[in-house]
Amino acid sequence: MATTTISQTFEPASPRQQASLIHAISRSENEEPHDKAQALEELGPPPHARGLLLLAEMSSAGNLMTKEYTHACVKAARENKQFVLGFVSQRSLNEEADDTFLSFAPGVGLPVEGETDGVKSDGKGQQWRSPKEVIGRDSIDVVIVGRGILGEVDRAKEAERYRKAAWEAYEGRIGKR
């Protein structure tokens, strides 16, 4: 049996919220306890209505994410749309008409500049896919790239190469290319 817990946390965005947070934290243990509703009211509203990303799928080989786990994440997100922004996943998980979740995909790679065959793995268990596969075929909204950029000498140039490839894949998906 899997249990999914959803919670919302945020950092205060205004000086008033910061002062309330400091006051709440600095209360002594001898003071009468506050109820949660009053404490949340003191903090004020979060700066963004939706901010939680659920880790629903992973791109590494041998990960422990099952179809049942992913389904439970989607169910929990639908039940908590007021603050769930989307998923870290391998494909869009928007399957119902009113699903408006964003999808963020790790494991995106490009071939070495000037080559056409892409690297499918980094030798550390990561299973890379191209921006065209991730954005075009699987309808991902945001690609997550780590070692593909960080491992390069000219990171800015490599980041631009990923940005361009992702944008071209997006334009292909919406029929502009």
Digit-coded pLDDT (tens) for 133-174: 999 999 999 999 988 899 899 999 999 999 999 999 999 998
- SS3 call for 88: strand
The CA-based dihedral angle spanning residues 40, 44, 47, 53, taken in that order and rounded to the nearest 10 degrees:
10
Q: Which pLDDT value is given to residue 31?
A: 54
CB atoms within 10 A of CB 83: 16
* Amino acid identity for residue 160 in this structure: E
Span 52-173 CATH architecture? Alpha-Beta Barrel (3.20)
Contacts of 94 (CB under 8 A, 6+ apart): 100, 101, 103, 139
Average confidence (pLDDT) over 97-105: 92
What's the order of all strands across the beta sheet hosting 84-88?
52-55, 84-88, 102-105, 142-143
Structure tokens at 20: 């309330």
Digit-coded pLDDT (tens) for 102-141: 999 988 999 877 776 665 555 666 678 899 999 999 999 9
pTM score of the predicted model: 0.65
Distance CA 152, CA 143 (A): 18
Least confident of 55-64, 92-101, 112-121, 160-169: 112-121
Domain ranges of the chain: 12-47, 52-173
